[in-house]
Amino acid sequence: MEQETDAFLDLGDNTALVCIDHQQYQKIVVPQLIDLGYKVHLGLFEEDVLLKLQTYNYDVVVIYENFKDSTAQTNPILRELSRRPDSRRREHFVVLLSHKFATNDAMTAFVQSVDQIINVSDLANFKPVVRRGASQHRELYHSFNEMLKSVQAL
């Protein structure tokens, strides 16, 4: 896939991990993330995704709720991210791509332990929705992350 960078990441790169095994949705999401300036890695298998999450700190993680025929309740990637300590979990802006839930439903996003939900019917608007959500996420956690770094340096 030409648009998928899946290359080595450099310090300071804007990075995204796309965990979408539905090819049609993948072809819509990946180019929009690239247009937003993200270097994109694809995660097509559970083991691969978990290894990538351990290896890299992705700015954005997009997870398809039905990844490998799972549901939002049984999705192994969502489960893994929800098990992480809050400080590690907040390093990622997690987007759930859903058939059931409405785009930008904040309460459902909270319940699902993600930062944002985008309904598949709104994929044409993926880029502006993620741009706004990721920007708000950075603003919200910037001070928190700076303080955390200074405390960890002591």
Closest CA to 4 of 51, 35, 42, 56: 42
**Would residue 5 count as lying in a domain?**
no
pLDDT of residue 87: 64
* Tens digits of pLDDT across the chain (154 residues): 444 455 566 677 899 999 999 999 999 999 999 999 999 999 989 999 999 998 888 999 999 999 999 988 899 999 988 888 776 777 789 999 999 999 999 999 999 999 999 999 999 999 999 999 999 988 887 777 788 788 888 7
**Would residue 4 count as lying in a domain?**
no
pTM over 0.75? The answer is yes
CATH number at residue 54: 3.40.50.2300
- Residues 96/116, Cβ–Cβ less than 8 Å: yes
The number of domains in the chain is 1
pLDDT of residue 6: 54
pLDDT of residue 2: 40
pLDDT of residue 1: 40
Separation CA 136–CA 1 (nearest Å): 31
Residue 39's domain comprises 15-153
**Would residue 2 count as lying in a domain?**
no
Q: Count CB atoms within 10 A of the CB of residue 22.
A: 14
- Residues 115/141, Cβ–Cβ less than 8 Å: no
